[in-house]
């Protein structure tokens, strides 16, 4: 059976052989699946979230309101298309396209199944695969950022520009953490091609500890838990989803970068793109960490599970699960403050990530028979000590900072109370000199 | 086959060079320089394909790194002078004449 | 090349769809002219005039962009290393430790210089 | 006993000592003492010199300096070098004594007070270098001294000279430097082409055979020397430098430094590139003759005493060059002797003129008149020095000038005859100047003049003595010079020389 | 692509000088990050100096252990005689320059503060100092070490940038006349980036021609590859542009005066001395090792460049009224003199002679330059250093010693005998003559005569003209500065009177030429 399995596993060699019409069919299918997926996704999100909030959610259009999102789509088409005078026309038009296209493209390297025979042609259930497939995904993700920036920039209003900038800053920040979280996977898989990564998760192999060989879990999500968790977080950040949906933070920025895209087809495209992005990141998480289209543990006992068309089922089931996780977050988590967001991305995810990579690499090196163990240990020790030393110094500094900050805030509030008129919450009388907060002492950088 | 890429890279390089020489805004000049660097990358990758060895692609990596470093430093410098002068035109930078 | 052709097909589909829907948008909907609709939306107040070219925005964003470039470059180097790690062996480990440590030093510097703080 | 090294070391150490002294007075006395010591040593050395010995360069010392370049510290003297060294050794103490107050800022038109110590220290350094340049038997070493010599002189003119001093100093430095750099090229080329791996002069003699190469290298050296010993038309820097320099510096400049040029022609141009020398002889002869006449005529027209003296020297250098390139025993010997005599007589003229100017504060001839009434001694010595300058029989210059003309006549009749006219012109400018300054009614400005004081007498006396002595009895000097000159000429193979052709050449120009 | 990769090896011992310098630089960054402000300087200075000394010692040890016959680090870095000699020079010069940098007065309190703003006042008052200078300088020095030693074009390019980028920044950190300084750094940066782009494209073309970027491989390809000559020639030309720019050879000298004038003088000293050394090392490597077989094609061009450089440097210097600009042009002229040595390529013996001559010249010139700029830092005005020549009038009266030393340096520049400059010039010219470049030497001589004019003019100004009433004050030098001047003067004298040992050293270094 193993042999059959291996045979069914597509490798890089199996790609690029399809005749054009097969490719066209695959592409069309993927495209349509994504479109329908969006319709389904919108409905599913609203339904599920409302259930979580003890509401019914959409239940008028069609059975269980299934047609709700279709109706929304039509409505958008029939809305008036507003275009403010001030906008930069070209950019304003291009932005949605730039946002949408890469989102679709990223999906082209997502493996959805093993080799199957399609109209008599044996071909993998995957549009195509590249030696650098994962890079393609990342590249598309970052091109998407242009869409956001252009949209914000092109529509020439303070809200949109701020929204655009924030969005791009956030996305790039999380992209780093995301990229780093992949490194662990590549260390184990030894390739960047998605299909081979999936096949690499077929069996975990064993970890020689002392005499006995401990069988390893086959999914990297278990083997590399830290990477996986980090990826999950970045996945949310990358797609501007709650709790990281700052760019369209209604509270402060109205609609963020899409403010000026009134509720018309343009907006529909943007929204579509966002959902597709969500699908892409979940698909990636599945491919890299959850064994891709491979059947989950109990089912994988059944030999036929990973052959033929079945894997499609497992794949989409996983998709639905991950997507529901998105919704779950949205239902349960509050939106973070922007500085918290950036701090999380830069100050926590990245260092942990780098440390984790080093750790993994070291372990791998230890496993190599050629390895010169003592050297590895020495290196590890040095790095560890260095980090600890720095962190210890660092921590004290941070502590000091926190106290200073607290003291300042304290002082501000006292000052507020001291001012009788300023107590007049919520709105101070207009004649009151506008309150800007106590001018806080500038702590020159690097001082303690 | 690869000639077209070379021609393209040459063109890009020329455009960048011309830009450096004729444009006045420091930032634009600077972007032209980056354009030249990327033209080099294109040439490297093309030649790598011609010769069938990977050196060219590898070089392209390093060039990117260097370009990045250059961007960081260059923007820092330009911003510095911009904040003093409220203008990024290299023509306004005329204190250094004898 | 064959590997990339399918991507092209998908790209054509997606682009076609996006452009189509963006362009027909003005025609599907009704037209009810109204001055207010042509202003940028700022919760009803007079829209603040935007300088051509979008004007200037906080340096902070530039710094973030710079940092992003730096770390992205680091990732560029991490990927090939990770893929070839088993072949490189100890050498790879040592070199990468040196590399990452160096980057971390720069990172710590930025951190202490408040390069990562948003307030 | 390494005489020459000692001769160079003593003044250098003296200079250091002088610059360390506390008081100016002490500095002057120390400088004088040192220079006298050098004089004494030179005397002793000269006494041991054996003119008739087979070895050409005596007191020779050779040490590796920069093996990488084949450069040696090589010194040694033959007759020619010896007399010139003696000349400088004699002149320096006199100059020191003469310029006792030059740097004090006293005196009518003297520049403001400058550092006295520096002045005398520079003087001593200069002396060391002058000795070195004459003693060097290594071409490179010669070049090093040749260039380095400029610097102290440059500072002496520039900081202690008259109103136009800095202009004069720069002009002087740049002219000499330019010549020197051309010489540097020639030196390098000489080394490379000779391919001997050494710069020692004796080993380089006669190495360069190819006539064409010779010509180029010759030019390289010759131009440098022609600038140094101002040969028409390279002379323009001299009047300025000499006129602006303090009298003492002027003496050393005209009296010794410029001799390096003529000495270089005699020693290097002739011996290293004999064929080229012969090839260029007509040209040089013409230049020197023109120089003689031109210098003399322009001198007549001068209104400034020092400039006038400077131009006379240009005329005299014409004679010297003439003698050198005549390539006859008489010519060479005469030229060498002329170098010495000219040193003394012109030196005397400059110093006494210096005293005049120190009193009156102006170097314009028009400002004087009837000095001989108020200061007879001054006027008298001035006259003697002047007469020696116009080579009156019985005074030193006569002998040498006669020998030069004689030697020239043997080969080049026409130039010799033309050159003779220089003598007559000399009579005009000297005597006319004397008449305008010393005789006639006493000018108002000259009334208060005091005659020479003790110091000044001590300055003038030895000079006059030497002038007269050499005028009547030049034999000892000639005995020293002749063998060296013969040696030189034999290296030039003059015997292969056919006067007839050259005569035509010479006349044809 | 999936072929197994042989894990490369690196000779850490051979590279230790560079590693030490870079390591120290990184530690410096950590110090910046974590040491409290008041401690930083007192940590940086010893750290930097120690690093340089350590690197120097390791360099000497490497040299004593005998030179390797093949390039280190998989043929990427050539640690051979010339490299080691150049490393020695650079490290010593850098050491001296750091002593100069050590003098606070020169660097901005807080680079980020807008000139004339309240922030700046505050920063100055609270006595801040931009101590990043030290790590930056170390990084630059590291780049300089790698630049001449790099044995393939990629490493050379990276080194070029590692060397340049910190310098761009350092140029903008002057404490006084900050606008000038910032402008200098912008100009330097833009032009520098421009030129390195040229270098890069040239590299690309040469790679296209040879199919490799290792100098050795390129040299071999000259004989094997055919029909691609256009690529090769254009590539060579562009590489040349990139390198000649760093040297400041005409017609690429435009940046030099501006940058030298604007930058903090200590940094100018560092650049003027070490960068020239490093750049010439690299130039020699590229044109001798890689393109030696192409001699007949690039020599004529080099002739032109050399002549132009000498003339331009000398002539334009005359018109200058600012001491630093004047020195900048003089360094242009000196670059021209050195180029005559680069051209004098021929037989093996000839090459060794030329190489050692160049090495000696670089050493001699470097010391003198640092010394000269050190003196410049001491002549201060109300607004900082008294750059304008007229302010130097009568310096000889104010402080004879300083003026005398400066005059001495100038004479050394002019190449007067008994100074190091003379022997440097002599060695190079001698090499050129025996290399059959006599006309070049004559041009060189003429232009050095012209150059002598403006050196002399400064001396005249200092000694023969009356001091201005409100003349500049002579800052009582810090220990560091005076040490620098003393060292430089000593070096100039010793090399001028007894150059033999250094010449021998240079000969040994050059004896084996570059390893391929």
CB contact under 8 A, A131 and E1: yes
Q: What is the DSSP letter of C51?
A: P
CB contact under 8 A, E33 and C109: yes
Measured CA distances, D65 to D69, E130, E265, E392 (Å)? 9, 48, 37, 38
- The residue ranges of every structural domain in chain E are 291-511
CB contact under 8 A, B64 and C62: no
Phi-psi group of A241: left, alpha or beta (phi > 0 → left; psi -120 to 50 → alpha; rest → beta): beta
CB contact under 8 A, E32 and A131: no
CB contact under 8 A, D158 and E460: yes
pLDDT tens digit sequence for D494-506? 654 444 444 444 3
**Min distance B9 CA to chain E CA atoms (Å):** 10
Give the pLDDT mean for B44-60.
90
pLDDT at D210: 83
Give the pLDDT mean for E501-507.
89
pLDDT at E1: 41
**Min distance B98 CA to chain C CA atoms (Å):** 34
Q: Is residue A153 within 8 angstroms of chain C, CB to CB?
A: yes
% of chain E exceeding 70 in pLDDT: 98
Q: What is the DSSP letter of D443?
A: P
3-state SS of E187-210 is HHHHHHHHHHHHHHHHHHHHHHHH
Res. E46: pLDDT tops 90: yes
pLDDT at E239: 93
Roughly how many angstroms between the first and final C-alpha of chain B, as a whole number? 52
How many A-C residue pairs are in contact by the CB < 8 A criterion? Answer: 242
Find the closest chain B residue to C68 by CA distance: B68
Domain limits at C61? 5-112
pLDDT at E3: 55
Give the pLDDT mean for D189-198.
84
Cβ atoms within 10 Å, residue D154: 26
Res. D507: pLDDT tops 60: no
Chain A positions touching C43 (Cβ under 8 A) are 254
The per-residue pLDDT of chain E, averaged, comes to: 88
Give the pLDDT mean for E428-443.
88
pLDDT band of residue E163 (cuts 50, 70, 90) is very high
Cβ atoms within 10 Å, residue D458: 14
The per-residue pLDDT of chain D, averaged, comes to: 83
CB contact under 8 A, B53 and E261: no
3-state SS of D146-197 is HHHCHHHHHHHHHHHCCCCHHHHHHHHHHHHHHHHHHHHHHHHHHHHHHCCC
D–B contact: 3+ Cβ pairs < 8 A: no
Chain C positions touching B65 (Cβ under 8 A) are 73, 76
Distance of CA B77 to the CA centre of its chain: 16
Give the pLDDT mean for D361-365.
78
CB contact under 8 A, C94 and A156: no
Span of A272-281, E47-56, E420-429, E469-478 with lowest mean pLDDT: E469-478
pTM, to two decimals = 0.87
CB contact under 8 A, C3 and A394: no
The per-residue pLDDT of chain B, averaged, comes to: 85
- Residue D196 to residue D206: CA distance in whole angstroms: 12
Measured CA distances, D276 to C46, D187, D281, D486 (Å)? 97, 16, 8, 19
Query: How many domains are contained in chain C?
Result: 1
Q: Helices (H), strands (E): how many in chain D?
A: 23, 2
Any domain includes C27: yes
Cβ atoms within 10 Å, residue A13: 8
CB contact under 8 A, E1 and A394: no
Cβ atoms within 10 Å, residue E261: 26
Span of A153-167, C99-113, D70-84, D334-348 with lowest mean pLDDT: A153-167
pLDDT tens digit sequence for C37-64? 777 777 767 777 766 655 667 778 888 8
Span of D43-57, E49-63, E255-269 with lowest mean pLDDT: D43-57
Find the closest chain B residue to E316 by CA distance: B98
- Residue D420 to residue D438: CA distance in whole angstroms: 27
pLDDT band of residue E165 (cuts 50, 70, 90) is very high
pLDDT at D112: 63
pLDDT at A4: 41
pLDDT band of residue C89 (cuts 50, 70, 90) is confident
**Min distance C66 CA to chain B CA atoms (Å):** 6
Backbone phi, then psi, for D74, in 5-degree steps?
Answer: -120, 120
CATH classification at residue C13: 1.20.58.1610
Nearest to C22 among A85, A161, A266 (CB): A266
Res. E446: pLDDT tops 50: yes
pLDDT band of residue B90 (cuts 50, 70, 90) is low
CB contact under 8 A, B70 and E321: no
Any domain includes B79: yes
Residue A210 or D474, more confident: D474
pLDDT band of residue E438 (cuts 50, 70, 90) is confident
pLDDT at D373: 79
pLDDT band of residue D388 (cuts 50, 70, 90) is confident
- Subunits with 3+ Cβ pairs within 8 Å of B are C, E
Closest alpha carbon to A84 in A253, A274, A266, A245:
A266
Instruction: Report whether E101 contacts E59 (CB < 8 A).
Output: no
Any domain includes C118: no
Measured CA distances, D82 to A186, D132, E52, E229 (Å)? 90, 11, 54, 65
Q: What is the DSSP letter of E273?
A: I
Chain B positions touching E200 (Cβ under 8 A) are 36-37, 40, 63
Query: How many domains are contained in chain B?
Result: 1
Which residues, including other chains, have CB under 8 Å from residue E304's CB and lie 6 or more apart?
none
How many B-C residue pairs are in contact by the CB < 8 A criterion? Answer: 19
Chain E positions touching D177 (Cβ under 8 A) are 414, 416, 449, 452
Measured CA distances, E333 to D65, E93, E125, E241, E283 (Å)? 29, 20, 42, 17, 17
Q: What is the ipTM of this complex?
A: 0.83
Q: What is the DSSP letter of D246?
A: -
CB contact under 8 A, B61 and C76: yes
% of chain D exceeding 90 in pLDDT: 0
pLDDT band of residue B87 (cuts 50, 70, 90) is low
Query: How many domains are contained in chain D?
Result: 1
Q: Is residue B51 within 8 angstroms of chain E, CB to CB?
A: yes
pLDDT at D390: 81
Q: Is residue C11 within 8 angstroms of chain B, CB to CB?
A: no
Beta strands in E171-285 (DSSP E): none
CB contact under 8 A, C62 and B75: yes
Phi-psi group of C53: left, alpha or beta (phi > 0 → left; psi -120 to 50 → alpha; rest → beta): left
Q: Is residue B36 within 8 angstroms of chain E, CB to CB?
A: yes
**Min distance D27 CA to chain E CA atoms (Å):** 18
Measured CA distances, C48 to C34, C42, C44, E359 (Å)? 19, 8, 11, 65
pLDDT at E21: 95
Find the closest chain E residue to C89 by CA distance: E7
Any domain includes B90: no
Hey, of E7, E26, E27, E34, which one would you mutate to test binding to chain A, going by the most A CBs within 10 A of its CB? E34
What tens-digit pLDDT sequence spans chain A (448 residues)? Answer: 333 444 467 777 778 777 888 888 889 999 999 999 999 999 999 999 999 988 888 888 888 888 888 888 888 888 888 888 778 888 888 899 999 999 999 999 999 888 888 787 888 888 888 888 999 999 998 888 888 888 888 887 777 888 888 888 888 889 999 999 999 999 888 888 898 888 888 776 666 666 667 766 778 888 888 999 999 999 998 888 878 887 666 666 677 778 778 778 888 898 899 899 999 999 999 999 988 888 887 777 777 777 778 888 889 999 999 999 999 998 898 888 888 888 888 888 998 898 889 888 888 888 776 667 787 788 888 888 887 877 777 667 777 778 888 888 888 777 766 665 554 455 544 555 544 544 555 455 554 4
Give the pLDDT mean for E181-208.
92
Q: What is the DSSP letter of D61?
A: E
CB contact under 8 A, E445 and D181: yes
Cβ atoms within 10 Å, residue C51: 8
CB contact under 8 A, E1 and A393: no
Closest alpha carbon to E506 in E431, E439, E435:
E431
pLDDT at E26: 94
pLDDT band of residue B39 (cuts 50, 70, 90) is very high
pLDDT at D502: 41
Q: What is the dihedral of CA A374, A379, A381, A387, to 10 degrees?
A: -170
Strand partners, A113: A125
**Min distance B96 CA to chain C CA atoms (Å):** 28
CB contact under 8 A, C69 and B72: yes
CB contact under 8 A, B40 and E111: no
pLDDT band of residue D304 (cuts 50, 70, 90) is confident
Instruction: Report whether E44 contacts E99 (CB < 8 A).
Output: no
pLDDT at E146: 94
**Min distance A380 CA to chain E CA atoms (Å):** 18
Span of A175-189, B8-22, D201-215 with lowest mean pLDDT: D201-215
% of chain B exceeding 90 in pLDDT: 43
**Which stretch, A128-137, D410-419, E189-198, has highest mean pLDDT?**
E189-198
Q: Is A370 exposed, middle or buried (0-12, 13-18, 19+ CB in 10 A)?
A: exposed
Which residues, including other chains, have CB under 8 Å from residue E127's CB and lie 6 or more apart?
E109
CB contact under 8 A, C109 and E32: yes
Nearest to C109 among E4, E10, E29 (CB): E29
Nearest to D185 among E416, E423, E441 (CB): E441
**Min distance E455 CA to chain A CA atoms (Å):** 46
Residue A258 or E501, more confident: E501
Res. E437: pLDDT tops 50: yes
Closest alpha carbon to A44 in A66, A25, A20, A16:
A66
Strand partners, A374: none
Res. E223: pLDDT tops 80: yes
C–D contact: 3+ Cβ pairs < 8 A: no
Distance of CA E164 to the CA centre of its chain: 11
Instruction: Report whether D398 contacts D391 (CB < 8 A).
Output: yes
pLDDT at C52: 62
């Amino acid at each position: 059976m193993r042999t059959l399995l291996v045979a069914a596993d597509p490798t890089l060699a199996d790609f690029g052989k399809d005749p054009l019409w097969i490719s066209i069919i695959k592409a069309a299918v993927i495209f349509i699946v994504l479109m329908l997926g969006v319709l389904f996704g919108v409905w599913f999100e609203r339904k599920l979230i409302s259930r979580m909030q003890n509401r019914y959610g959409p239940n008028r259009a069609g059975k269980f309101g299934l047609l709700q999102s279709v109706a929304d789509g039509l409505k958008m088409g029939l809305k008036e298309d507003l275009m403010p005078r001030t906008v930069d026309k070209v950019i304003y038009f291009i932005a949605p396209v730039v946002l949408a296209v890469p989102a679709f493209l990223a999906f082209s390297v997502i493996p959805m199944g093993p080799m199957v025979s399609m109209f008599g042609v044996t071909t993998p259930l995957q549009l195509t695969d590249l030696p650098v497939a994962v890079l393609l995904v990342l590249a598309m993700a970052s091109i998407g950022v242009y869409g956001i920036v252009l949209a914000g920039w092109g529509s020439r209003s303070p809200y949109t520009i701020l929204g655009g900038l924030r969005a791009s800053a956030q996305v790039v920040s999380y992209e780093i953490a995301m990229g780093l979280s992949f490194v662990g996977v590549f260390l184990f898989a030894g390739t960047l091609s998605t299909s081979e990564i999936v096949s690499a998760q077929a069996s975990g192999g064993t970890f020689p500890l002392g005499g006995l060989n401990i069988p390893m879990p086959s999914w990297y999500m278990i083997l590399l838990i830290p990477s996986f968790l980090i990826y999950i977080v970045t996945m949310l950040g990358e797609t501007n989803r709650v709790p990281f949906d700052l760019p369209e933070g209604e509270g402060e920025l109205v609609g963020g970068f899409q403010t000026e895209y009134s509720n018309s087809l343009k907006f529909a495209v943007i929204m579509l793109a966002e959902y597709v992005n969500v699908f892409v990141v979940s698909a990636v998480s599945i491919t890299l960490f959850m064994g891709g289209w491979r059947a989950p543990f109990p089912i994988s006992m059944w030999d036929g599970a990973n052959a033929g068309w079945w894997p499609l089922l497992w794949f989409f089931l996983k998709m639905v699960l991950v997507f529901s996780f998105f919704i779950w977050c949205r239902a349960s988590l509050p939106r973070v403050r922007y500085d918290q967001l950036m701090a999380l991305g830069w100050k926590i995810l990245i260092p942990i990530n780098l440390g984790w990579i080093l750790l993994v690499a070291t372990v791998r090196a230890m496993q190599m028979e050629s390895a010169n163990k003592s050297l590895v240990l020495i290196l590890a020790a040095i790095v560890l000590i260095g980090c600890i030393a720095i962190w210890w110094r660092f921590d004290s500094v941070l502590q000091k900072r926190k106290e200073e900050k607290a003291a300042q805030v304290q002082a501000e509030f006292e000052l507020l109370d001291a001012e009788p008129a300023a107590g007049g919450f919520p709105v101070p009388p207009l004649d009151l000199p506008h309150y800007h907060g106590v001018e806080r002492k500038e702590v020159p950088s690097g001082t303690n | 086959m690869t000639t077209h890429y070379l021609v393209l890279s040459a063109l890009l390089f020329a455009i960048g060079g011309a830009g450096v020489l004729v444009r006045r805004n420091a930032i634009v000049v600077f972007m032209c320089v980056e354009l030249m660097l990327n033209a080099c990358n294109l040439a490297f990758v093309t030649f790598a394909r011609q010769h069938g060895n990977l050196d060219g692609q590898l070089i392209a990596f390093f060039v990117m790194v260097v370009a990045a470093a250059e961007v960081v430093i260059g923007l820092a410098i330009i911003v510095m002078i911009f904040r003093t002068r409220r203008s990024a035109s290299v023509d306004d930078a005329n204190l250094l004449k004898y | 090349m064959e590997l990339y052709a399918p991507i092209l097909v998908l790209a054509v589909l997606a682009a076609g769809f996006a452009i189509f829907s963006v362009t027909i948008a003005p025609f599907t909907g009704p037209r009810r002219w109204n001055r207010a609709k042509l202003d940028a939306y700022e919760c009803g107040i007079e829209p603040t005039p935007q300088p051509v070219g979008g004007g200037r925005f906080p340096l902070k964003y530039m710094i973030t962009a710079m940092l992003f470039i730096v770390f992205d470059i680091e990732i560029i180097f991490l990927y090939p290393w990770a893929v070839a790690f088993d072949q490189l062996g100890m050498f790879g480990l040592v070199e990468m430790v040196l590399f990452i440590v160096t980057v971390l030093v720069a990172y710590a510097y930025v951190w202490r210089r408040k390069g990562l703080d948003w307030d | 006993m390494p005489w020459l090294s000692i001769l160079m070391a003593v003044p250098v150490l003296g200079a250091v000592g002088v610059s360390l002294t506390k008081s100016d007075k002490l500095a002057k006395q120390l400088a004088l003492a040192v220079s006298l010591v050098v004089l004494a040593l030179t005397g002793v050395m000269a006494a041991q010199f054996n003119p008739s010995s087979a070895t050409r360069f005596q007191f020779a010392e050779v040490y590796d300096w920069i093996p990488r370049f084949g450069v040696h510290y090589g010194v040694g003297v033959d007759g020619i070098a010896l007399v010139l060294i003696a000349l400088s050794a004699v002149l320096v103490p006199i100059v020191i004594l003469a310029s006792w107050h030059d740097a004090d800022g006293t005196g009518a038109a003297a520049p403001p007070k400058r550092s006295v110590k520096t002045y005398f220290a520079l003087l001593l350094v200069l002396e060391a270098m002058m000795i070195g340049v004459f003693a060097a038997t290594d071409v490179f070493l010669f070049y090093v001294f040749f260039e380095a010599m400029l610097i102290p002189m440059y500072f002496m003119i520039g900081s202690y000279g008259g109103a136009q001093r800095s202009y004069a100093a720069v002009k002087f430095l740049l002219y000499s430097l330019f010549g020197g750099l051309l010489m540097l090229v020639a030196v390098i080329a000489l080394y490379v082409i000779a391919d001997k791996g050494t710069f020692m002069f004796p080993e380089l003699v006669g190495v360069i055979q190819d006539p064409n190469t010779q010509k180029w290298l010759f030019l390289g050296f010759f131009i440098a020397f022609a600038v140094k010993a101002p040969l028409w038309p390279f002379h323009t820097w001299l009047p300025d430098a000499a006129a602006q320099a303090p009298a003492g510096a002027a003496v050393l400049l005209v009296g010794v430094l410029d001799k390096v040029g003529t000495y270089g022609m005699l020693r290097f141009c002739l011996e290293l590139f004999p064929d080229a020398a012969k090839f260029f002889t007509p040209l040089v002869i013409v230049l020197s003759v023109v120089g003689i006449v031109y210098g003399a005529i322009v001198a007549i027209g001068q209104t400034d005493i020092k400039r006038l003296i400077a131009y006379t020297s240009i005329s005299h250098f014409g004679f010297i060059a003439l003698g050198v390139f005549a390539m006859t025993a008489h010519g060479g010997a005469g030229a060498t002797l002329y170098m010495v005599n000219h040193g003394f007589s012109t030196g005397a003229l400059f110093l006494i003129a210096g005293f005049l100017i120190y009193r009156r504060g102006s170097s314009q001839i028009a400002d004087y008149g009837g000095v001989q009434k108020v200061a007879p001694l001054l006027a008298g010595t001035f006259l003697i020095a002047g007469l020696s300058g116009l080579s009156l029989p019985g005074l030193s210059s006569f002998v040498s000038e006669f020998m030069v003309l004689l030697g020239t006549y043997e080969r080049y009749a026409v130039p010799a005859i033309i050159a003779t006219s220089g003598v007559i012109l000399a009579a005009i400018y000297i005597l006319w100047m004397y008449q305008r300054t010393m005789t006639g009614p006493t000018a108002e400005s000259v009334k208060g003049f005091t005659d020479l004081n003790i110091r000044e007498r001590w300055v003038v006396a030895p000079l006059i003595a030497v002038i007269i002595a050499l005028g009547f009895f030049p034999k000892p000097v000639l005995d020293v010079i002749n063998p060296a000159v013969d040696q030189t000429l034999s290296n030039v193979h003059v015997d292969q020389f056919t006067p007839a052709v050259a005569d035509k050449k010479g006349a044809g120009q | 692509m999936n072929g197994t990769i042989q894990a490369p090896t690196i000779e850490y011992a051979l590279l230790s000088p560079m590693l030490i310098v870079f390591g120290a630089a990184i530690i410096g960054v950590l110090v910046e990050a974590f040491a409290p402000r008041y401690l930083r300087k007192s940590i940086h200075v010893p750290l930097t100096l120690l690093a340089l000394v350590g690197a120097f010692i390791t360099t000497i040890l490497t040299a004593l252990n005998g030179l390797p016959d093949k390039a280190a680090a998989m043929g990427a870095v050539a640690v051979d005689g010339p490299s080691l000699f150049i490393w020695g020079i650079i490290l010593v010069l850098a050491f001296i320059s750091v002593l100069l940098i050590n003098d606070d007065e020169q660097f901005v309190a807080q680079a980020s503060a807008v000139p004339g703003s309240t922030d700046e006042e505050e920063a100055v008052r609270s006595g801040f100092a931009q101590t990043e200078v030290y790590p930056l300088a170390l990084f630059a020095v590291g780049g300089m070490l790698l630049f001449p030693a790099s044995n393939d074009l990629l490493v050379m390019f990276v080194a070029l940038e590692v060397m340049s980028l910190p310098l761009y920044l350092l140029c903008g950190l002057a404490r006084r006349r900050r606008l000038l300084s910032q402008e200098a750094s912008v100009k330097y940066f833009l032009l520098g980036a421009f030129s390195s782009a040229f270098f890069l494209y040239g590299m690309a073309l040469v790679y296209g021609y040879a199919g490799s970027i290792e100098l050795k491989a390129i040299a071999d390809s000259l004989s094997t590859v055919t029909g691609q000559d256009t690529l090769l020639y254009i590539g060579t030309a562009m590489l040349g542009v990139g390198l000649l720019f760093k040297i400041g050879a005409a017609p690429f000298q435009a940046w030099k005066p501006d940058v030298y004038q604007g930058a903090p003088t200590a940094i100018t000293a560092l650049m003027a001395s070490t960068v020239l050394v490093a750049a010439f090392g690299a130039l020699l490597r590229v044109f001798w090792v890689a393109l030696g077989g192409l001699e007949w094609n690039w020599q004529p061009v080099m002739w032109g460049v050399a002549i132009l450089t000498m003339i331009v440097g000398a002539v334009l210097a005359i018109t200058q009224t600012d001491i630093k600009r004047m020195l900048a042009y003089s360094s242009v002229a000196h670059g021209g003199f050195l180029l005559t040595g680069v051209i004098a390529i021929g037989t093996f013996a000839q090459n060794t002679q030329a190489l050692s001559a160049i090495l000696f010249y670089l050493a001699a010139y470097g010391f003198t330059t640092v010394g000269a700029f050190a003196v410049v830092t001491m002549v201060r005005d109300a607004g900082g250093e008294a750059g304008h020549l007229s302010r130097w009038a009568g310096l000889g009266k104010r402080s004879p010693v300083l003026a005398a030393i400066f005059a001495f340096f100038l004479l050394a520049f002019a190449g007067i005998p008994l100074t190091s400059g003379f022997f440097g010039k002599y060695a190079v010219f001698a090499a050129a003559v025996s290399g059959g470049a006599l006309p070049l030497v004559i041009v060189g001589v003429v232009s050095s005569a012209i150059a002598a004019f403006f050196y002399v003019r400064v001396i005249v100004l200092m000694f023969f003209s009356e001091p201005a009433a409100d003349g500049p004050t002579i800052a009582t030098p810090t220990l560091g500065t005076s040490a620098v001047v003393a060292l430089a003067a000593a070096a100039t004298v010793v090399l001028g009177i007894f150059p033999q040992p250094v010449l021998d050293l240079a000969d040994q270094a050059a004896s084996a030429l570059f390893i391929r």
